Every structure is written in structure tokens, then in C-alpha cells.
Amino acid sequence: MERALCLCLFLLTLTEDSNQIEDNKIPSLCAGQPGIPGNPGIHGSQGLPGRDGRDGRDGAAGMPGEKGELGQPGPSGPRGERGSAGINGLPGEKGTQGECAVAPRSAFSAKRSESRSPPLADQPIVFDIVLINEQGHYDGNTGKFLCEIPGLYYFAVHATVYRMSLQFDIMKNGKSVASFFQFYGNWPKPTSLSGGTLVRLEPEDEVWVQVGVGDYTGFYASVKTDSTFTGFLVYSYWPNSPVFA
């Protein structure tokens, strides 16, 4: 019995020794204590580089950065070629009517009604039949022209002379600016005397015709012969005039 038991232990020992020889371990009949750890081995040589890995997935878009400072203007580029004419645009709306630039006007003409008696001396002769007076600057009741537009005027007088000699003046504000005379020599028919002059006038100036003192008042008018007084503006000095400013 003991011999059989020893045989089994021997076979078992052989089996363990065979395993230890395979593991490069010293064969032993009994298991020993773990040995002291050996010294660290030296570093091995660097291995070959590995293959590139696959590209990763695109990351999410980042937040916008802050706005940078405004850069300096770049140099002007070369001038381009002239383009072709564009298409005409649509007509615009009609504008409002503007003011019409009309030259100032002043004109009149009047004659004496039939009278065989001479006019009074040193007083305006009244030419009471108004032929034209569109602006109303002549007064047929007083025989005076009243200036409203500053400028240069021409005045003319045509007088029928009969029964006595005639001398008349074109007056401006009480002063004679032109004087005319016709001698009457007892002719059987009337004769005539005409005269005219340019006069510069300012607003409120007055112009009229009058005879002098004495025997030279032969101003005559009848159905067949007239005596007239005419005046008109040649050009204006009005600074506010749209034409003559």
C-alpha cells in the first residue's frame, strides 16, 4: 500500500517537472518561493511608422469671429471703356406753370375835344378824349401822366395852331423839359406844331403840357383837326423787372 502511494507521488512529480521544463523553470520536486524581480531591460529600437489613419468627420462650424478693422482704400483701377447709351427713361410729370417774364409796359394817347377858345396859361392842358390808356397811367381829367415804372419815356405833342401864335412846353414836375413855338401869320387856314422829347422818370413823377403867358396860346381843336398828347415807355430801369433787372 505504501509502495503504491509512493509510486503515485513519483509519477505526479515527474509530470510537474515536465511542465516546469517546458516553462524554462528549474525542475524541482517541490515548489519554491518567488524570486527577486530582475533588472529592467534596455529600451528596444523605434518601430516603423504606422499607416495614416482615416480622416475624421468634419467638426461643427465655429462661432463668427469679431469684425476686423477697415482696411486702407486700394489704388484706383484703370478707367473702363465707355459703355453704350442706355434706354431713354419715361417722360416726367408736367411741372407747374411758371411766371411769365413780361417787360413792363406804359403807354397812352389822348386828344382835346373840340374847342375854339385857347387853354389857360401856366396850367396843364387837358386832353380829355382818351384814345389808349391800358395801364391807366394817364389821367384824362387833369391832363397829367403819372409815372409808376421807372425808365426812359418818350412824349410827343401835336397841336393845331389857329388864330394866334403858339408856344407850349412839355413839363416834368413843374419844370419845362422841352419848349416849341409856331408863329401864326394870319393865314386863312390852321397850321400845326409838333414836338417831342425823351424824359427819364421815377415813380410819382408827373408830365403834362402847358402854354405860356402871353399871346402864344393858339391851341386849337375841331371836328376836322386834332391836337394830341402821346407818351410811352422806351425801356425800364426797374431792378425788380424780370426782363430789365
Q: Per the structure block, which three cell numbers stand in for 127?
A: 386832353
Distance of CA 102 to the CA centre of its chain: 24
Grouping H, G, I as helix, E, B as strand and the rest as coil, residue 51 is coil
pTM higher than 0.75 for the full model?
A: no
pLDDT at residue 245, rounded to an integer = 43
Mean pLDDT computed over 92-101: 71
d(CA 125, CA 114): 13
Angle formed at CA 96 by CA 92 and CA 98, multiple of 5 degrees: 125
pLDDT, tens digit (0-9, with 9 covering 90-100), for 150-193: 999 999 999 998 888 899 999 999 999 999 999 888 778 888 89
Cβ(224)–Cβ(156) below 8 Å: no
pLDDT at residue 200, rounded to an integer = 97
pLDDT interval class at 21 (50, 70, 90):
very low
